[in-house]
Structure 1
Amino acid sequence: MDETGEIRRIWQSLGLPGLVDVHTHFMPKPVMDKVWKYFDDAGPLVGRPWPIAYRTDEAHRVETLRGFGVRAFTSLVYPHKPQMAAWLNQWAAQFAAATPDCLHTATLFPEPGVTDYVRAAVDGGVRVVKVHIQVGGFDPTDPLLDGAWGVLADAGVPVVVHCGSGPVPGAHTGPGPVAALLARHPRLRLVIAHLGMPEYAEFLDLADRFDGVYLDTTMAFTSFVEEVMPFPPTQYGRLLDCGERILFGSDFPNIPYGYAEAMGVLTRIPGVDADWLRKVFHDNGAQLFQL
């Protein structure tokens, strides 16, 4: 069976209408090209060879996801310096308008004016925000961001946040800064990318403490990650018990393996059942984004 057939077999066998993938990347071509070059060069934030599995043009990548049966996906953009986020938000708004199955995405950076452009994005119908603490190299509790976090908390817009210390630690990664952020803005809806790897247990702790904390499965349990940041078997039960707030994410197209593996590994978690998989692959995301 080809890859598309295998992917469709998984979700069809669960009786689902398709997939919701909360962690996919679409960016302006010059930005995506630079991101791919960074992976090709195994840059310092990557730390190891990382071939891009789906290195095709934008239109082909959209059609690939549709062929897999992805009903809704994201264009997770993120800045690495000031005066970049507002431009990325404009591009992402235009991309979502032209691509109805892409959730309107935005991002932010600690800089003057961030509250204004985040409020403009919310007023413009943004559905999800991406924050990359590792790449941005900033503290999420930076006072410059306080107003923007308040806007997002009030609007209930989910924020996919890369805050774990994988693949390599950053100055502000780990559960501590996120716990401090939630202490100030407890109503934030945060989707912890990559299950918070490698601090899996600590981010599950935050999900226990805050009703608005979700986790996405991006790259977790794949052989690529298990080699260096394995999910602790002692936490399987907690992950399954937290099934209402686990969301499927793939990191498409920037993954060094096939999309079918990203799905298949979840079906082999010890103790997993069809109900958990239905929630993770579709129902939780559909509910969170009101699809």
Structure 2
Amino acid sequence: MERSHYWLAVLIIALVSGCATSPTGRSQLMLISPETAISESEKAYIHTVSTLGQENKLVSDPAINQRVQVITGRLVNVAIQRYPRTRNWKWSVAVIDDAETVNAWAMAGGRMAVYTGLLEQLKLTDAELAQIMGHEIAHALANHTAEQMSVALATQLGVTAVGIATEASDKTLTVGAIAAQLAVQLPNSRTAEAEADRIGIELAARAGYDPQAAVTLWQKMAKAGGDGPPQFLSTHPAPGNRQATLAALVPKMRQLRPATLGPVAPVTLAR
């Protein structure tokens, strides 16, 4: 069979069978299974963290690390309660020492990272940081890595990129791991962003954080970046009326908020 016909057949079969439903009820294209995305993301994450460690780019300040770890742990506790399938995920977070980068990301399976530039440039409150990490956890819960890898495969946009990356990258990374790595570097869809906003603000509220922080966070984000937008917005494009949408959710989210901050689930700090 000719190569083009082979891929056409693969895509037709996959398009017929490769559908899933997100936590908000949205239909998703899933040519890459969530399990595969988690496995490949683990390889990419370990490689990334190892490289950052060798370059002394992982934060050593215990106060910063503990702050991120505790806030993330509260959110993970809620995530596990509401999505029991995530109980055995290897939840982890890397705090990257890069004051110039205003960004955070998550891979499939609960592998996350946040840059010090996000904390320092935006002067985040704990509640605002909870919104960021809740948003990232939401990407993992909604299988957005697998979805993004699937869309890239379906459109063949990712095939060339992965091929080029394979030629130039460390050979210890598989093509799948490179694809998982690319998934956090390429822009999410606005639909996925809106979904992560909706899930993330609820996670933060149920963990005990003021949902109004979702609004103030994006007010700060809009002002940040100087001559250009923060890097966060290059991979997390803002849905239209983001602040207004989040503000409309605040009253409902406040009803879900407990009187005290919630318990902290174990989250491994990448070192």
TM-score of the aligned structures, taking structure 1 as reference length: 0.27
TM-score, structure 2 length as denominator? 0.28
Larger-gyration structure (1/2): 2
User: Which of the pair is proportionally richer in helix?
Assistant: 2
1 or 2 for the larger relative contact order (CA 8 Å, sep ≥6)?
A: 2
